[in-house]
């Protein structure tokens, strides 16, 4: 395969069938920047371009737990935009390094304030200079639309008889976009949202600190839609870590913690629903960005 545009390397990721299970894992680490957030980043930037919201001197600024920042940084570099990423200091060192490697400026906020602190800082900066453009992945419709128009169609193409979709929720972009399309394709498909048990806000619980990066921002975002949600399941960190390590050991494919959380959520739903239903879930990124956290030691 010969390419002349690196952006063509975003999308069309493979599905891996878990051993002895009817569960299929969509491996988003094979996107250009190594995560599912490359899709949202591309969708939001192209949407802003189409609407005339980006100028030559525009500076893209975004609060993110890491992967969206990586996606925006690499796409910004390809398209020639300056990028500023605001991120809680608790995120992994690898994510920070990658963002800077792609040429973006990185601003860290107090870890105890979580994503809310990063969002507050980014918004204050965006208001201070009209050159700043903030995509705002937590409310940007282009986020979920990118998954509605790409990720969901890939799933339907590869697993046309899908019965259950399971996904952890961060911004809600992938869950909303994929679930909406799947419900339109077949109203009987069951869509399950997963969240950290330590921060069960989708279930009406209290936000709290947790260690599953990329899931559970601590609030219900504007683009998460309960109307496409049949079940909400809570995942303990220990289960996510165990599944992450077991999958990587068995397959040689290193995945991140949110991937392990989705695998465990899928196994739980398989047991609850019975009848060996065909389940598709997401591996949002690879584990290479978490090596400094000691998960794989």
Give the torsion sign (CA, 115, 80, 59, 52): negative
Does some domain include residue 225?
A: yes
> Per-residue pLDDT averaged across 133-146, rounded?
96
93: confidence class by pLDDT, cuts 50, 70, 90:
confident
* Alpha carbons 11 and 45: distance in angstroms, whole number: 16
The answer on 157 and 20 residing in a single domain is yes
| Number of independent structural domains in the chain | 2
Q: How many CB atoms lie within 10 A of CB 89?
A: 14
Per residue in 277-288, pLDDT tens? 999 999 999 999
The answer on 72 and 49 residing in a single domain is yes
pTM of structure: 0.94
The answer on 155 and 120 residing in a single domain is no
**Residues marked as catalytic:** 37, 258
* Whole-number pLDDT of residue 6: 96
* Whole-number pLDDT of residue 297: 74
CATH of the domain at 203: 3.40.50.1100
Does some domain include residue 189?
A: yes
Which of residues 133, 168, 192 is at a domain's end? 133
The answer on 80 and 10 residing in a single domain is no
**pLDDT > 90: percent of the chain:** 86
The answer on 244 and 154 residing in a single domain is yes
Cβ-contact 172, 140 below 8 angstroms? no
* Whole-number pLDDT of residue 117: 92
DSSP letter string, 72-138:
HHHHHHHHT-EEEEEEETTS-HHHHHHHHHTT-EEEEE-GGGHHHHHHHHHHHHHHH-TTEE---TT
Nearest to 70 by CA among 285, 217, 253, 259: 285
The answer on 150 and 242 residing in a single domain is yes
Does some domain include residue 118?
A: yes
Whats the size of the chain, residue-wise?
297
> Per-residue pLDDT averaged across 24-33, rounded?
98
The answer on 220 and 97 residing in a single domain is no
* Alpha carbons 80 and 190: distance in angstroms, whole number: 41
Does some domain include residue 138?
A: no
The answer on 214 and 109 residing in a single domain is no
Per residue in 212-271, pLDDT tens? 988 998 899 999 999 999 999 999 999 999 999 999 999 999 999 999 999 999 999 999
* Alpha carbons 182 and 188: distance in angstroms, whole number: 9
Both structure tokens of 193: 């949202």
Which of residues 80, 108, 133 is at a domain's end? 133
User: Residue 292: is its pLDDT beyond 90?
Assistant: no
Q: How many CB atoms lie within 10 A of CB 265?
A: 27
Which has more pLDDT, 14 or 274? 14
Mean pLDDT of the chain: 95
Does some domain include residue 139?
A: no
The answer on 53 and 26 residing in a single domain is no
* Alpha carbons 211 and 119: distance in angstroms, whole number: 19
**pLDDT > 70: percent of the chain:** 100
> Per-residue pLDDT averaged across 136-160, rounded?
98
Q: Which residues of 117-141 are buried (b: 16+ CB within 10 A; e: fewer)?
A: bbbebbbebbeeeeebbbbbbbebb
Which of residues 110, 133, 156 is at a domain's end? 133
Exposed/middle/buried for residue 195 (C-beta within 10 Å: 0-12, 13-18, 19+)? buried
The answer on 286 and 176 residing in a single domain is yes
For residue 260, give the 3-state DSSP assignment: helix
3-state percent breakdown (helix, strand, coil) of the chain, nearest 5: 45, 20, 35
The answer on 117 and 155 residing in a single domain is no
> Per-residue pLDDT averaged across 1-28, rounded?
96
* Alpha carbons 32 and 36: distance in angstroms, whole number: 9
> Per-residue pLDDT averaged across 126-133, rounded?
95
Instruction: Quote the domain boundaries for residue 174.
Output: 6-30+144-293
Beta strands (DSSP E) in 153-249 are 164-168, 190-196, 231-235
Does some domain include residue 243?
A: yes
Q: How many CB atoms lie within 10 A of CB 184?
A: 12
Does some domain include residue 1?
A: no
Per residue in 29-72, pLDDT tens? 999 999 999 999 999 999 999 999 999 999 999 998 789 999 99
The answer on 124 and 270 residing in a single domain is no
* Whole-number pLDDT of residue 280: 99
* Whole-number pLDDT of residue 116: 85
Nearest to 196 by CA among 174, 168, 229, 224: 168
């Amino acid at each position: 395969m010969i390419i002349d545009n690196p952006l063509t390397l975003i999308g069309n990721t493979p599905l891996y069938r878990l051993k002895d299970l009817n569960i299929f894992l969509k491996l988003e680490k094979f996107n250009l920047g190594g995560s599912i957030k490359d899709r949202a980043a591309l969708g939001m930037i192209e949407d802003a371009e189409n609407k005339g919201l980006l100028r030559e001197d525009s500076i893209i600024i975004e609060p993110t737990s890491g992967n969206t920042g990586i996606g925006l940084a690499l796409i910004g570099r390809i398209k020639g935009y300056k990028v500023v990423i605001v991120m809680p200091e608790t995120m992994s060192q690898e994510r920070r390094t990658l963002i800077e490697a792609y040429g973006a400026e990185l601003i860290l906020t107090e870890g105890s304030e979580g994503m809310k602190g990063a969002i507050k800082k980014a918004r204050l900066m965006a208001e201070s200079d009209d050159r700043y453009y903030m995509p705002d992945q937590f409310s940007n419709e282009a986020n979920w639309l990118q998954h509605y128009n790409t990720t969901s169609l890939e799933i339907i193409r590869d697993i046309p008889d899908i019965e259950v979709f399971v996904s952890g929720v961060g911004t809600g972009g992938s869950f909303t976009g994929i679930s909406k399309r799947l419900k339109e394709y077949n109203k009987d498909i069951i869509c399950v949202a997963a969240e950290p048990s330590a921060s069960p806000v989708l279930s009406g619980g209290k936000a709290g600190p947790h260690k599953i990066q990329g899931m559970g921002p601590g609030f219900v975002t504007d683009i998460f839609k309960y109307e496409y949600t049949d079940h909400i399941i809570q995942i303990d960190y220990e289960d996510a870590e165990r599944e992450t390590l077991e999958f990587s050991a068995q397959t040689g494919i290193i995945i991140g913690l949110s991937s392990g959380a989705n695998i465990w959520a899928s196994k739980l739903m398989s047991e609850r629903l019975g009848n060996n239903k065909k389940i598709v879930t997401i591996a949002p990124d690879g584990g290479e960005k978490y090596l400094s956290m000691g998960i794989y030691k």
